[in-house]
Amino acid sequence: MTVVVALLGLILLVVVHELGHMLVAKAMGVHVPEFGIGFGPAIFKKKFGKTVYSFRIILLGGFAKMEGMEGMASVEEETGERGPNAYPSKPAWRRAAIIFAGPFANLLAAVVIFFGVYMAGAPTGITTTVEEVVPDSLAAELQLRPGDRIVSAYGEPVGEWSEFQEIMAGRRIGDPVDLVVERGGRDLELSGELGADPTNPERAIVGIQPAATTAAGPIEAFVEAVGRTIQVIGLFGWFVGQLVTGGIDFFDSVSSPIGVVSVSSTVASQGLLSFANLLAFISLNLAVFNLLPILPLDGGHLFFIAAEKVIGRPVRPETIGKVAAFGLALILMLFVFATYADVSKIVEGQPFIPEQPERRP
Give tens-digit pLDDT for 66-122. 988 764 333 344 444 467 888 888 999 999 999 999 999 999 999 999 999 999 988
What is the share, in percent, of the chain residues with pLDDT greater than 70? 86
CA distance linking residue 139 with residue 205, whole number of Å: 9
Cβ atoms 37, 11 nearer than 8 A = yes
CA distance linking residue 88 with residue 109, whole number of Å: 28
Q: Name the residue type at position 105.
A: A
Give tens-digit pLDDT for 170-189. 888 899 999 999 998 899 99
Architecture of domain 125-214: Roll (2.30)
CA triplet 49, 52, 54: central angle to 5 degrees?
140
Cβ atoms 141, 192 nearer than 8 A = yes
In the chain, which segments carry CATH 2.30.42.10?
Answer: 125-214
Cβ atoms 35, 53 nearer than 8 A = yes
**What are the residue numbers of the active site?**
18
Q: Give the model's confidence band at 302: pLDDT under 50 very low, under 70 low, under 90 confident, else very high.
A: very high
Give tens-digit pLDDT for 114-134. 999 999 988 888 899 999 998
CA distance linking residue 221 with residue 229, whole number of Å: 12
Where is 7: in which H helix or E strand?
helix 2-27
Bridge-based pairing state of the strands 176-183 and 149-153: antiparallel
